[in-house]
Amino acid sequence: MEHIFEIKHTNGKKEYLAHNFFLSSDKEAKRCKLKPLRELYRRRALKISCSCTSPKVKMLIAYREKTNTYSIRTFPGKAKEHATSCFFSSGNDDTSLATDTTYEKGYVEKNGKIEVKLDSHDFKKTNTNNLKANPAKTTTTSMGKRQNTSVSSYKSSVYALTKRLVTEAWNKSILASTMDKYPAEDKNMVYKSLKGDILWKYSIGRDQLDRIFYGGGLVGQISHLEGKSKSNSAAYTILLLEEDLTAETSDKVILSLRSPKYKELREIVVPTHLYNNALSAVNNIPAPYFIGGFLTYTSSKTPPEFLSFSLIPISDYGAPIESSFERTLFNKLSAEQRKVIRPVRETIDSSWNGFIPDGLLLDTKPKTILEVFGMSQNHLAYHEKRQIKIEHFSNLNSSYNLWYWDAFNGSSPPRLPNLN
């Protein structure tokens, strides 16, 4: 869950800024927000703290004239006080969220292309025979790489990468949708936009994702793809899993997957512990999923196997979702062909203060922010965040409407907002 800065003014006013505010690449918008805060901070008219843990951790707002950047940072030596899931816990005194940096783990953008930084064991095949023959060499290479990693180049995970790709694909197909061409129940449209426009932008080291993408054709195609890729990367894939696990041996799960494009099913093997980790990462939400990961292929007699693996639960139409309640909502929206996107980096508005809505309806005037509150009412911290989000989003009423569903208390979703 996203972490939040709490800003307490000496006059009693409170406001909130989520760390995700720094996801936006709009430097000017970020300066506009931080400049007045810095001025008040300097005059001791406000206090700012990170609420990742209890008690909250005191923070400071700094300004650097030379670069005209504002930043929020932790006091020297206090990094340890943050929750491990917090950005500031990385243990470096220089760690800051600043107007000229984008806060996103593992992605480096250059000229419209995005290089993804993953742990090498997520996508590099380690040949066990080589490892035995020359263990020293292999270890040095992978360790050496890891040691060079600085705070600024945090790694992404295969889950985060796959989720990002699926979300972009969903948004793209929604933006391209028309009266008679809406993302369909066979998920093919989402898949097509993924393969058509999105994969080419992403690379892992020297390998472009669309060049090592396995679309679910012939099994032998994987070894063909691996041969083409220069740095020994396994083949990346996103395929569709429509039912929960199909068969299980002592340490492997055999999945029946398909690409929405080719209708036939493919058997692919995933080690049980990878499967279970992926499932608990999404709170055991049942199928359907887009699954994403890197595949290797050992011989023509055995099915390909996942080296790294993630499950992205989706709606019946292919929208990524984070809970069964969200699935209900997105299915309802899609059944009515509503233009609903899931805001990501490019679409976040600085007026949201880093609170990223579960959905944004584009076919109302003004646009409607959608929130689904699905966790238990007893979960105090969650409840507090719900309150903060509702208050914040309701105050944007000339630019956005707010629609929300308190699913946690068993109520059914309110009527959807009217078109236009």
Q: Which residues bind Zn ion (CB under 5 A)?
A: 50, 52, 82, 86, 88
CB of 54 to Zn ion, least distance (A): 11
> For residues 50 and 407, which CB has a smaller minimum distance to Zn ion in the complex?
50
CB of 117 to Zn ion, least distance (A): 22
> For residues 83 and 362, which CB has a smaller minimum distance to Zn ion in the complex?
83
CB of 85 to Zn ion, least distance (A): 9
> For residues 73 and 389, which CB has a smaller minimum distance to Zn ion in the complex?
73
What 365-370 contacts at long range (C-beta under 8 Å, 24+ apart), as own/partner pairs, is: 365/420, 366/398, 366/399, 366/400, 366/401, 367/399, 367/400, 367/401, 368/400, 368/401, 368/402, 368/403, 368/417, 369/393, 369/396, 369/400, 369/401, 369/402, 369/403, 370/329, 370/340, 370/403, 370/404
CB 344 within 8 A of CB 360: no
Residue in this structure with the two tokens 């709606």, named with its chain if needed: 315
DSSP assignments along 38-95, one per residue: HHHHHTT-EEEEETTSSSPEEEEEEEETTTTEEEEEEPTT-GGGS-TTSGGGG--TT-
232 SS3 class: coil
CB of 22 to Zn ion, least distance (A): 13
> For residues 88 and 107, which CB has a smaller minimum distance to Zn ion in the complex?
88
> For residues 86 and 360, which CB has a smaller minimum distance to Zn ion in the complex?
86
350 SS3 class: helix
> For residues 18 and 356, which CB has a smaller minimum distance to Zn ion in the complex?
18
CB of 91 to Zn ion, least distance (A): 12
CB of 14 to Zn ion, least distance (A): 17
